[in-house]
Amino acid sequence: MKLALVGYGKMGRAVESVAMERGHEVVARIDPTLDTREIGAATLGGADVAIEFTVPGVAVDNIAALAAAGVDAVVGTTGWHERLDEVATAVNAAGTGMVHATNFSLGVNLFLRLARMAAKMADALSEYDVHIREAHHRHKIDHPSGTAITLADILIEELARKESWSATLPDSAPHPQVLYVASERVGETAGSHIVGLEGPDDRIELRHEARTRAGFARGAVAAAEWIRGRSGVFTLDDMLAETFTS
């Protein structure tokens, strides 16, 4: 398959190496640092699918430009999902396909499903105080991480005692109906997420820790193989519904 990389930073390069391992051809690299900035037929090099890992402020325009160019997209950039409706309109109007995920690691997706099961069970045990902690490298721009937000949304769906999530503690005591998400930005870590259940007598933690970026890249390349020729907007969860049966 012919792939275009939109964003040739840490993730773009990780995707390139996994794509080459899997026998794909990288026909275009679009990144201002390479002096190839514009997305269009001339710069996409006949790509079947584009894989977009850039920065939150440009992702929406990039997705619209890829749709207008008739190229399917895998979008890993985080921090733009409040504009998903606008993006879906552009993709559906163009008749192209798109898979987006705040975390393309297949292991994280297993972790999200385990977190949902844990929250369903913890719903019956109100004495457990549920919270999220996440840590990433110091260069990451957005916080909480897109994965922590996905995790928070899942926990709120399953826990009747939590109504919303917040990344900031109030000046008064924490609100029992709020799920608190704490972020740490330090060093060069690839990323960790913890769902903590703090009980009166014990503590349960579900933890996912990424060791390298290759896990995200492998999921993104698998999504590129899956989306080719499909129309519409999908999440990685839609793709994995075929793999995980519960």
User: Which residues are catalytically annotated?
Assistant: 136, 140
176 near ligand NAD (CB under 6 A): no
- Detail the DSSP E strand segments found in 167-228: 178-185, 192-198, 203-209
55 in contact with ligand NAD (CB under 6 A):
yes
Residues 78-97 that bind ligand NAD (CB under 6 A): 78-79
Q: Which amino acid is residue 10, in one-letter code?
A: K
119: CB partners within 8 A, 6+ apart? 130, 154, 155, 157, 158, 159, 195
Contact of 135 with 192, CB cutoff 8 Å: yes
Peptide bond just before 200 cis, omega within 30 deg: no
60 sits near ligand NAD (criterion: CB under 6 A):
no
> 60 in the Ramachandran plot: left (φ > 0), alpha (ψ -120 to 50) or beta?
alpha
Shortest CB 230 distance to ligand NAD, Å: 19
**Is there binding between residue 237 and ligand NAD (CB under 6 A)?**
no
Nearest residue to 103 via CA among 148, 135, 54, 137: 148
94 vs 106 by CB, closer to ligand NAD: 106
33 makes contact with ligand NAD (CB under 6 A): yes
Of the candidates 19, 24, 47, 53, which one interacts with ligand NAD according to CB under 6 A?
Answer: 53
The residue (of 197 and 221) whose beta carbon lies closer to ligand NAD is: 221
Contact 220, 171 (CB under 8 A): no
Q: Is 30 near ligand NAD (CB under 6 A)? A: yes
31 binds ligand NAD (CB under 6 A): yes
Query: Measured from the CB atom, is 58 or 110 closer to ligand NAD?
Result: 58
Q: Report which residue's Cβ sits closest to ligand NAD.
A: 9
Contacts (Cβ under 8 Å, ≥6 apart) of 21: none
Q: Which residues bind ligand NAD (CB under 6 A)?
A: 6-12, 30-33, 53-56, 58, 62, 76-79, 101-104, 140, 216
